[in-house]
Every structure is written in C-alpha cells, then in structure tokens.
Structure 1
C-alpha cells in the first residue's frame, strides 16, 4: 500500500519510538550526529540560495533536502524523538521506562549538537577562506540571523520570550508532522512529499528549530556576529528546546495517539471479514527486523 491509515500509523509511531529507545548509546550518538550534520548542511544551502537569489521562498522550498535525506538514512533529530519516544511509552511497550526516554533525549541532544557544531566550524572556514578574510555575503547573513533572533527577542523583554517560545512550539508541530509523514507511505516518493511540505512551511515562516539553531548561532559567533554565547542560550536555544518539546507532544503525539490508537479489546469484526480478536505483539527480539524497518523510515 502507498498510504498508511492513521490507526496503523500510530502503531508504526510506537514501533519506531520503541526501537529508538532501545538503541545502544553508540548507535544513538552516531545517528544523532549525522542527522544534525545533514540537516544543517541543508540549512546552509537554503540560506545560500536565499542570499544569492534574493528569493527567501526559493530557499525554503529547497531547505527540506537535508531533512529528507537524514530520515531516509535512518538518522535522528531531537525534535523527532520528542514525539516518537513518548508514543511508545503511552503504548506501554514492554521494558520502556521514563528514565530511558530521558537517556535517549540526552544522547540525541549531545549527538545533534556535535554534528551541528561540526558543520558550523566547517562552514565558517568556507565563508572566510579559513578565517583569513571577512565573511562572504552568506556568512554575513548568517551572522545577522544570529543577532536578530537573540538580541532581537531580548529587546522585547517578556513579550520577546513568549514569541520565541511560541515559534518553537509551532516549529515542532510542523517538524514532527514531517517525521510522522515519513511513516504514512511505503513508497519513496510518498515519503519525500510527506516530509517536504511541513518542513518547507516551518523554514519559510521563520519558526525556531533547536537543531538548526545549533548551527546558525555558533556559526554567527565564529563569524564575529554581535551577540554573545549567553544571548544564544538564554534568548534562543533553551526556550526553543522547551517549545519544540511541547509542540511535538501537544500537537502531534497526543492527538494522534488519543484518537487513532488501536483498541483491540473494543474491535468488532467487519461484515464478511474475519478479524483477529486482538493483536499480539511479538517479543522484541523476534520483531526487531520489522521494527527496525519502520524505525529507519522515522
């Protein structure tokens, strides 16, 4: 089938979340590192296109390249596991505990930061000929993004902090929708289209994504932009992470699970069809190939 109905989609989300929470620390870190690296290369590409063409919409249309590649390759972002991990816990998958969820989030955060910061260093070298010249126009634009989206919020005080938080919420509403959309289809083109649409929307609207910001703001600091590390942490990264967490849980994970989870004990047979009375989950070891396949798509 090329389209997966919502009830089966929620089961796939829980399978993917369970798989990710049971990954080793080594695999979690590698996948998080590579996921952020690909995403932030896509962000650098989008900013380059926007600056060189003067068309921000074109940059937004092309930005999802990195996101699509990282999820097709089975890598991870913190914003994605903010949604998939809790679904597995809601579904009471055997062996999962809240502390395991926190462990996963911590490892993915660390891997994402290292991957994004690596790209920030490489791109800063690229924009300045190895720090031997002033930043290129694209490098200058990245520095201005860092300034306007830290000091710019601070200038508005509490209203600026509220705006930053709301942009974080809206961002992961879209990003987590893209993560889930990768599970809606069993065809490559279906997955790509499903991921592309919400990611394009979030980037063009200027919502705040904690992982993209792990690249943009350290890049700005390396390129001499007029804001500090404290500005970045207080007036962007930390509130953005909280907003991303709440956005993914409140507007993606909880609504889908609440209304579409399969209640096996309440199912009734369809007319003319034989339906099993319940769905028995396989033990984790025997289900691993199937779960791994689903998780790789998420």
Structure 2
C-alpha cells in the first residue's frame, strides 16, 4: 500500500458560521459555532488516509484537551501518530469565519506547532520509508526545509502547499517536486495576475505545479509536458474549508499509485468536491469509495 508521510500542523478549528463575514470594525450575529479538528498538515493526513494510503503524521500537539482530541481524530481516520509529539502548552488553533456562500477567512495561532522547528530523531527514517512527503507552511520554515531536504536525499516525492504564503527559500524550492498553490498564492509567488501566466512562471521555481482554482478546477503545468486544465465537478458548496487540503491529500495518493496525471487530478478534484458539500475540515473529507463513485459518475 502507498505510504505517505506528512510533516505539518495540527490545529483545533474554532468555526463561526455567518450569513456574511464582518468587515473591519463590524459585529455580526452568527448562526452556529463548531469546534472541529483541523490544521493543514492533519487535514492532508486525514485526506490521504481516507483516500486509501498508509499515512504517518510528524508534528506536535499541546498537553491540553484539544491535543488529545486532535490525536484521536487522526488515529480514528487511520493515521499513524507515533511521530506526533505532545509538548507543554496549548495546541494550535484556527479561528475561522464561514459565510453562507461557503467562503472563509482564517486566523491561525501556532501553539504547539511552533515547536516543530527541526527534525527529531527518527523523523528522517520515517520520511525515507515513504513514497511521498506532504509539506505546508503552518510550522516553522526551518523544519519544512529540513523535511524536504531529507526527502530529496532519499528519493521521496515532495509535494508542498505554500500556505500561509511566504517567501520560499531556494533550498526548499530545489527539494520540491510538485508545488500546489491556490490562485492567490500562485499570483503572490510570481507577481503575475493571470492564473495561467502565474502557473507558467512557477516553472522557473519548481519542475511541476498545480494551481487550484476553486470551483473552476485546477491548472497543471510541467517543464516536460503540455499544460492541463481539469474542471471540478459542479456542486453546491456548504463550506470550502480544507477543500485544498482534501485535493492535495487525494492527489498525493493518486500520483503515488501511478495514475496518469489527468486522471489523478480529476480524482483529486472529485474528492475536493465532496468535501465542500459538508461543513468542517477533517470532518468533511470523503473516503475512497465515495471518491471512486463521484469520479466514475
């Protein structure tokens, strides 16, 4: 079975549902509040595990109730947490406002994730045993760079989600096989305002990239192949939180299983489309039979 390692964040998502998100200085009344396990690293781990891979999570949670629940949620989805450390202090949190159109805005407080600033003993061995390493930017950049370099040394595919967006050091880009930004992140990284131009410009940084375009689908570019535009299934979005993480986790599984690129992208888009039909981050992520059913429909 495909083995995917994830080096990244775990957060407790504190989600407020509102008709319309407040502007600066404005107070609005929400209709619902939920506490949902999330974090970009944990989200991608759950997505990959539910999509059919063996998944191992490298990161940290706090020694609080949130940390216990975060670990249990990962384990319930089949993610190995032997390398998920428990540290003194609070777990990470994400404060999310979701509007009635399914859009969201997010403030992340790192908490325990801030302690993941290096690889600990055993982490490199775990990475070396994997087919793919998934990376994001909700933990200190030094650890992301170290993880990517370790994967590169051992011939393990690296997939990087550059979120929250920040400048990417050359050593990280050199060890990145596939970059998966959303449209905003691609434009920020390249300075190009047109998504297709931004995607092409990313090839100056990495050999392959997938720019996710929300409900429109995604755009794949490679230094050694023609660009691909893959549409997303048309669905009624309830909550887009973690749709990108669902896409990336499922894509990692599909590529590790050596699906053709177009098929892998379509399969991942099917997974993401299922996730936006439900509220929450990890709670919304589909299992493989659901993805296969939507993909073949």
TM tier, smaller = under 0.3
Of Structure 1 and Structure 2, the greater strand share is in: 2
Taking structure 2 as the reference length, what is the TM-score of the superposition?
0.23
